[in-house]
């Protein structure tokens, strides 16, 4: 709800018309998001969402890239960091073009948790995170062999 108070001038001169004004409203909401750069299709919900299933062979998975956004009520960016305390491997790969971007892979099959914390460094142990995202190391659909390779024939 927005309340606007208008003082009526004592002189009813048209150039002092109190109802001739412009009100500019900028909607800014504080918010925190963790979004994967590539969206993954979920067959159960039949929708796209964050990349959460990492094909994993041995102690290596395919990587995914996540972008963090943490803004306050004025729209100013607040520093945040992506962490994991249970086997996800996270690297800050931020650049000018992609600020707050992280490369994520998992080191084993099973569930892992990505956690977003305020600040520039992960805490010594898991605490109250701004956001959490469960991710899962899964056996790849092609088994333990190398991923399928597509070949192109040139004429």
Domains annotated for the chain, with CATH where assigned, are 31-138 (2.60.40)
Share of the chain above pLDDT 70, in %: 72
Strands ordered across the beta sheet of 110-118: 60-61, 53-57, 131-138, 110-118, 80-83
Residue 85 has pLDDT above 50, yes or no: yes
Look at residue 12 in the predicted model and tell me its pLDDT. Answer: 61
Instruction: Determine the Cα–Cα distance for residues 122 and 129; give it in Å rounded to an integer.
Output: 10
> Where residue 126 falls among pLDDT bands split at 50, 70, 90?
confident
Q: Is the confidence at residue 5, as pLDDT, over 80?
A: no
Closest CA to 116 of 101, 130, 98: 130
| pTM (whole model) above 0.85 | no
């Amino acid at each position: 709800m927005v309340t606007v108070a208008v003082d009526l001038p004592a002189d009813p001169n048209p150039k002092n018309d109190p109802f001739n004004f412009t009100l500019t409203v900028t909607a800014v909401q504080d918010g925190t998001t963790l979004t994967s750069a590539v969206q993954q299709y979920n067959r159960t919900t039949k929708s796209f969402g964050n990349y959460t299933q990492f094909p994993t062979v041995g102690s290596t998975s395919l990587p995914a890239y996540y972008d963090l956004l943490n803004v306050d009520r004025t729209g100013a960016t607040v520093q945040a960091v992506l962490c994991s305390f249970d086997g996800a491997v996270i690297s800050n790969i931020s650049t000018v073009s992609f600020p707050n971007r992280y490369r994520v892979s998992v080191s084993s099959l099973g569930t892992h948790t990505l956690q977003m914390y305020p600040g520039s460094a992960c805490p010594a142990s898991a605490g109250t995170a701004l956001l959490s995202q469960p991710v899962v190391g899964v056996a790849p659909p092609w088994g333990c062999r190398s991923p399928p390779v597509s070949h192109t024939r040139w004429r």
